[in-house]
């Protein structure tokens, strides 16, 4: 491990219970800022048999890869092609695609809600897997909601309603969904691995503040799920307080929920909890990293 590692870096590695090699890899990735890997997901506008107009990697070894997702080879710029402007595909980080892989075990929902949807990546990945009869993409922040609405329209997402309610307002609404996506606001530690400055993201104050907010969002989200329905919780951060511990809190606090196994993510299963939850780190080679856990209402 680097002799120059900061206390915050060492604290994070200790909380993740990483061995020396993995800790060194994580610290190096956060400092290098080059772990991001671009991916594209085809939109509903892409015609049958459509192939993106750029060279893509062979990802056949990754059983978790969601349908209609392609990974451009290094140097390709998907957003520079005309087909991007036409809305035939949406560009995002590969780690976001990994987080959505848990949907592989979820039946196609009649009604779905993306509670923290902007700019729209998770909604696009869900729509690419199965077109729900009715989808609601929600974003509280007005400016981000405008970007979300623009992306949904550009990519031709059908049967979508863009809304701006707070999670507690959704809970009070009384509407029930078969699937709720909670791509929760977080400290965004993986941004460092993308080369994006994020001061304070490794500090306890930011982590604890986000963990409190995430628990509140989830306590509202569980009230929006129909019997037998699911919540997919995800973040783009590493700290267990914002991930495994939030899920443990919900499972302990709210009866009638269980965490669901995702066979295609078995090799990424977290060792920091006794229920199925999954974490991606930069040294896994699939982007900057993240966390996901699938909960089912029983």
Catalytic residues: 236
Q: What whole-number distance in Å separates Cα of residue 127 and Cα of residue 119?
A: 14
**Contacts for 141-144: CB closer than 8 Å, 24+ residues apart:** 144/118, 144/119
Q: Would you say 242 and 187 are in contact if contact means Cβ atoms under 8 Å apart?
A: yes
**The sheet that has 38-42: what strands, in order across it?**
69-70, 38-42, 89-93
The DSSP secondary-structure symbol of 75 reads: T
Structure token digits, residue 239: 């700290």
Rama region for 73: left / alpha / beta (φ>0; ψ in -120 to 50; rest):
beta
* Paired tokens of 172: 């009070």
Burial code of 164-195, b = ≥16 C-beta within 10 A, e = fewer?
ebebeebbeeeeebbbbbbbbbbbbbbbbbbe
Distance CA 59, CA 57 (A): 6
């Amino acid at each position: 491990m680097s002799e120059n590692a900061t206390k915050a870096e060492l604290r994070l590695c200790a909380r993740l219970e990483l061995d020396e090699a993995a800790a060194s890899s994580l610290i190096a990735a956060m400092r290098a800022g080059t772990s991001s890997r671009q991916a594209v997901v085809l939109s509903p506008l892409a015609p049958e048999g459509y192939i993106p107009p750029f060279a893509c990697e062979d990802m056949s070894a990754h059983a978790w890869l969601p349908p209609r997702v392609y990974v451009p080879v290094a140097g390709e710029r998907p957003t520079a092609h005309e087909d991007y402007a036409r809305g035939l595909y949406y560009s995002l980080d590969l780690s976001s695609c990994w987080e959505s892989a848990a949907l592989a075990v979820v039946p196609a929902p009649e009604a779905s809600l993306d509670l923290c949807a902007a700019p729209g990546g998770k909604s696009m990945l869900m729509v690419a897997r199965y077109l729900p009869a009715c989808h609601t993409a929600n974003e509280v922040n007005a400016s981000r909601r405008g970007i979300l609405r623009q992306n949904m329209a550009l990519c031709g997402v059908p049967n979508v309603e863009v809304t701006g309610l707070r999670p507690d307002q959704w809970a009070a609404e009384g509407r029930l969904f078969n699937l709720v996506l909670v791509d929760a606001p977080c400290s965004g530690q993986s941004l460092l691995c993308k080369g994006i400055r994020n001061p304070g993201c490794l500090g306890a104050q930011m982590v604890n503040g986000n963990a409190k907010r995430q628990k509140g969002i989830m306590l509202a989200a569980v009230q929006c799920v129909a019997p037998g329905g699911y919540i997919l919780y995800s973040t783009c951060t590493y700290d267990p307080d914002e991930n495994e511990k939030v899920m443990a809190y919900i499972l302990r606090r709210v009866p009638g929920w269980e965490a669901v196994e995702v066979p295609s993510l078995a090799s990424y299963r977290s060792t920091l909890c006794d229920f199925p939850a999954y974490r991606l780190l930069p040294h896994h080679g699939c982007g900057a990293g993240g966390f996901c856990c699938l909960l089912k209402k029983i």
